[in-house]
């Protein structure tokens, strides 16, 4: 089976501090990492790979620096890594991102199993996975919380939705997006790190992918961010401390009183 | 005349409240834009007359229904193919859907097939003066910025909207309207995916996303046993228990209760944060709550910057006192 994991490189949120003045994130000096939720997709893929004769590729669209994220994926257990990088890809919205990823998959494919994270911690749309699946014309199962069985003729997964849990069986090819509940990602091993250091990261640009400039990057993006503003986050809290605490509790009680259940025993 | 579409969200055969919230907003946009509102409903059996009436009352001029067994539970392929066909028969100017697990899945699929843009998780929608474009505002980067996004050259303009963001229409819009049956051809709903099982979470068990009141606990409770007054309070006021990631990681409570960047985004009427420090990732999930109460021992805790009222002291003690006071109230 051929397995592909879609990996995005994002700013390291662990290092992000909030500017107390205006509530924006301070991004200077912040490193980048594999999107934390994508590690769960990668872990799922590695486990499947270890269970049989499978080939595991990771792909990312991003700047040359995203090579580091791909190396980390190899250190964890991916066989090969492809970086889709080109100045013309810059400013892509989710549609143009999915277009670029699906071009690579179309060219290299078919992949039997494609895995994505639930969402990226920066753009946070969760759209790239299902858009890519639709462009490829493959079934898509999102919010996968458990991989139950990886069979010859299909995969059985559980997905968590608002009103319960569903179990689906889908034949290959299929695209899954997984949540963090699916597993605990492993850490790279020393041996893996060594392998990653010397690994060849394959690179492809728009020409290699056969993509017209009008379909990629900012030019190919139907959406435009026209304004960014920083909401004033802070509220003016009335604080109750020490002897005033009683008053604060009374206020909270008054606030909740309308919600008291009538037939409370 | 071009239309604004809302795609209905359902639970079983019932229309979910988020549908009426979107109809309310769509109605408002339609008045501004001078257009009409249509609702698309993909459902396993024909709805009752009362359901239709509620949809018209809620703001729809037209209701399009596609009835097929395969719509019992959401399945990507059938949904996006049927919606695409509906759109191609009468292309709308705008499509709105709730940002639920299904809406967040079929909307990107549909946008990909239609070759148009999609803005995720909007909390604000408006019509731009002059151009008539839809202005879509959404929080991003952990809720620290608000981005306004347009889809200037592609149609339809598509957006998903967080449930609880908008309110249903305050008055009855109309009693009757046009009902259009969309014939579902078998090849549109053919799917290789098979639903083997569905375990529903019991009725009454409200998830944090749907909660009106959330009482959330954090590491400041110090011990799992100290969650007791939180559960007690939740039972008394029909509230839902929420959590910071730290106590989820400590296995005091399941992940479904987690509020924040890697948990749920919530917008209750009242959010009580007990022993939660106010890390940016937590704030990202609860800052749009209507009223926020913070309880923390440390008067400099970041959470107080995001609260409407703050109680400084031991969280367990304060909650226990509150519960006792509430119990007196019940006995009265
Ligand atoms: C403030 C702001 C708001 C934005 N809002 C929107 C919007 O509403 N609509 C829109 O279309 N675009 C939007 N964008 C652009 C969007 O962030 C980018 O297109 C981004 O490249 C992908 O979207 P995402 O971060 O939301 O990823 P998601 O869709 O959340 O990512 C889901 C999964 O897809 C895979 N994936 C995503 N990106 C890549 C990649 N580059 N390479 C490999 N795999 C990947 C990963 O598996 C990831 O876990 C916005 C950008 C900003 C800065
Ligand atoms: C990528 C990423 C995603 C994340 N996603 C989330 C998320 O979705 N949700 C989330 O919550 N976190 C998330 N986090 C973690 C977040 O950064 C914090 O670590 C977490 O929110 C802290 O939880 P806490 O406030 O319960 O605990 P702490 O930070 O340990 O705070 C405990 C608080 O309790 C107070 N306290 C101590 N004793 C008492 C007492 N006796 N009475 C009253 N108060 C007391 C302390 O003053 C302190 O303010 C994420 C982090 C990362 C890096």
Give the full edge-to-edge strand order of the sheet including B94-98.
Answer: B118-122, B157-161, B94-98, B3-7, B36-43, B62-67, B178-181
Nearest to A170 by CA among A140, A199, A193, A208: A140
C-alpha R_g of chain A: 23
The preferred substitution site among B251, B263, B277, B303 for testing ligand 2, maximizing ligand atoms within 8 Å of CB, is: B277
Check whether A143 has a pLDDT greater than 80: yes
Instruction: Give the minimum alpha-carbon distance from B148 to chain A in angstroms, rounded to a whole number.
Output: 5
pLDDT at A263 over 70: no
Residues B116 and B156 in one domain: yes
Domain that holds residue A18: 2-215
Domain count, chain A: 1
User: Which residue from A25, A37, A253 is facing B141, i.e. has the nearest CB?
Assistant: A25
B29 plus B168 within the same structural domain: yes
Partners of A223 on chain B (C-beta within 8 Å) are: 117-119, 149-151
Residue B197: inside a domain? no
Task: Tell whether B199 is covered by a domain.
Answer: no
Range of the domain at B180: 3-189
A188 lies within 8 A of chain B by CB: no
- Same domain for B301 and B178: no
- Would you say residue B201 lies in a domain? no
pLDDT tier, A113 (very low <50, low <70, confident <90, very high otherwise): very high
Which of A4-18, B87-101, B229-243 bottoms out in mean pLDDT, i.e. has the lowest? A4-18
Considering the domain architecture, whether residues B182 and B240 belong to the same structural domain is answered as: no
Give the tens place of pLDDT for each residue, B48-81: 999 999 999 999 999 999 999 999 999 999 999 9
CATH of the domain at B297: 3.40.50.1220
pLDDT over threshold 50, residue B112? yes
Task: Clarify whether residues B217 and B136 are in a common domain.
Answer: no
Minimal CA separation from A14 to chain B, in Å: 10
Nearest CA in chain B to A120: B141
Residue A172, chain B, CB below 8 Å: the answer is no
Q: Is the pLDDT of residue B202 over 60?
A: no
**B131: helix, strand or coil:** coil
Quick check: A146 pLDDT over 60? yes
Q: Is B200 inside any structural domain?
A: no
Q: Which of B189, B218, B237 is the endpoint of a domain?
A: B189
- Please state the rounded mean pLDDT for residues B187-194: 97
pLDDT band at A232 (very low <50, low <70, confident <90, very high): low
Domain tally, chain B? 2
Whether residues B38 and B106 fall in one domain? yes
Q: What is the DSSP string of chain A?
A: -EEEEE--EEE-GGG-EE-TTT--EE-TT--EEE-HHHHHHHHHHHHHHHTTT-EEEEEEES-GGGHHHHHHHHHHT-SEEEEE--GGGTT--HHHHHHHHHHHHHHH---SEEEEES--TTT----HHHHHHHHHT--EEEEEEEEEEE-SS-EEEEEEETTEEEEEEEPSSEEEEE-GGG--PPPPPHHHHHHHHH--EEEE-HHHHT--GGGSTTTT-S-EEEEEE-------PEEEEGGGHHHHHHHHHHHHGGG--TT--
Q: Is residue B306 domain-shared with residue B161, that is, in the same domain?
A: no
Position B180 in a domain: yes
Same domain for B154 and B238? Answer: no
Verify whether the Cβ–Cβ distance B207 to A162 is below 8 Å: yes
pLDDT at residue A265, rounded to an integer: 41
Residue B16 lies in a domain: yes
- Is A237 domain-assigned? no
- Give the per-residue pLDDT at B207: 82
**A154: CATH:** 3.40.50.620
Query: Are residues B19 and B168 in contact, defined by beta-carbon separation less than 8 angstroms?
Result: no
- On whether residue A256 sits in a domain, the answer given is no
> Residue A264 — very low, low, confident or very high, per pLDDT cuts 50/70/90?
very low
User: Looking at the structure, do residues B15 and B141 belong to the same domain, yes or no?
Assistant: yes
**Is B39 contained in some domain?**
yes
Distance in angstroms (rounded) separating the CA atoms of residues A149 and A89 = 37
Partners of B309 on chain A (C-beta within 8 Å) are 237-240, 248, 251-252
Nearest to A241 among B192, B299, B330 (CB): B299
Based on the domain organization, do B248 and B145 belong to the same domain?
Answer: no
- B41 and B82 belong to one structural domain: yes
- Interface predicted TM-score (ipTM) of this complex, two decimals: 0.85
User: Distance (Å, rounded) from C-alpha B183 to C-alpha B185?
Assistant: 6
Whether residue B19 is found in the same domain as residue B162: yes
Residues of chain A in contact with residue B109, where contact means CB-CB under 8 angstroms, are 130-131, 133-134, 140
Give the pLDDT band (50/70/90) at residue B298.
very high
Residue A260 inside a domain? The answer is no
């Amino acid at each position: 089976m051929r397995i592909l994991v879609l990996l995005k490189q994002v700013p390291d949120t662990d290092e992000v501090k909030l500017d107390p003045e205006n509530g924006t994130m301070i991004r200077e000096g912040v490193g980048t990492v594999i999107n934390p939720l994508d590690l769960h997709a990668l872990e799922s893929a590695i486990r499947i790979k270890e269970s049989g004769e499978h080939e595991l590729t990771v792909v990312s669209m991003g700047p040359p620096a995203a090579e580091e994220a791909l190396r980390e994926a190899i250190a964890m257990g991916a066989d090969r890594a492809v970086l889709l990088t080109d100045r013309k890809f810059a400013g892509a919205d989710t549609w143009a991102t999915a277009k670029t990823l699906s071009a690579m998959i179309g060219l290299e494919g078919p992949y039997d199993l494609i895995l994505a994270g639930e969402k990226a911690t920066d753009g946070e749309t969760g759209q790239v996975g299902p858009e890519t699946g639709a462009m490829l014309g493959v079934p898509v199962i999102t919010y996968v919380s458990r991989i139950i069985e990886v069979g010859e003729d299909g995969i059985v997964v559980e997905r968590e939705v608002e009103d319960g849990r569903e179990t689906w069986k889908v034949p290959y090819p299929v695209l899954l997006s997984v949540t963090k509940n699916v597993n605990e990602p492993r850490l790279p091993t020393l041996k893996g790190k060594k392998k990653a250091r010397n690994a060849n990261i394959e690179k492809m640009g728009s020409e290699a992918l056969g993509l017209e400039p009008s379909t990629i990057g900012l030019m190919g993006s139907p959406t435009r961010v026209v304004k960014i503003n920083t909401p004033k986050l802070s509220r003016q809290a009335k604080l109750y401390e020490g002897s005033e605490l009683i008053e604060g509790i009374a206020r909270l009680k008054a606030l909740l009183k309308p919600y008291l259940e009538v037939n409370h025993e | 005349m071009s239309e604004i579409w809302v795609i209905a969200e359902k639970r079983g055969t019932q229309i979910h409240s988020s549908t009426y919230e979107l109809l309310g907003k769509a109605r408002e946009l339609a008045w501004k834009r001078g257009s009409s509102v249509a609702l698309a409903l993909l459902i396993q059996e024909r709805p009752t007359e009362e359901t239709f009436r509620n949809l018209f009352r809620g703001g729809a001029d037209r209701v399009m229904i596609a009835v097929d067994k395969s719509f019992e539970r959401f399945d990507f392929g059938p949904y996006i193919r049927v919606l695409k066909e509906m759109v191609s028969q009468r292309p709308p100017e705008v499509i709105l859907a709730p940002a639920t697990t299904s809406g967040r899945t079929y909307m990107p699929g549909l946008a990909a097939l239609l070759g148009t843009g999609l803005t995720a998780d909007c909390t604000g929608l408006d019509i731009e003066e002059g151009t008539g474009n839809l202005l879509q505002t959404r929080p991003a980067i952990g809720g620290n910025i608000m981005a306004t996004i347009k889809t200037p050259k592609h149609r339809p303009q598509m957006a998903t909207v967080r449930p609880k963001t908008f309110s249903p229409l305050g008055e009855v819009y109309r009693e009757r309207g046009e009902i259009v049956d969309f014939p579902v051809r078998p090849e549109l709903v053919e799917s290789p995916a098979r639903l083997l099982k569905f375990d529903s979470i019991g009725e009454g068990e409200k998830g944090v996303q749907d909660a009106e009141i959330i009482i959330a606990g954090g590491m400041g409770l110090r011990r799992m046993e100290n969650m007791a007054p939180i559960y007690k309070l939740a039972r008394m006021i029909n509230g839902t228990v929420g959590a910071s990631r730290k106590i989820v990681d400590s296995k005091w409570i399941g992940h479904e209760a987690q509020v924040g960047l890697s948990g749920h985004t919530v917008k209750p009427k009242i959010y009580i944060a007990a022993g939660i420090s106010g890390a940016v990732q937590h704030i990202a999930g609860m800052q749009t709550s209507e009223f926020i109460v913070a309880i923390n021992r440390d008067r400099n805790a970041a959470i107080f910057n995001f609260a409407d009222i703050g109680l400084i002291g031991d969280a367990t003690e304060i909650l226990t006192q509150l519960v006792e006071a509430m119990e007196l109230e019940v006995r009265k």
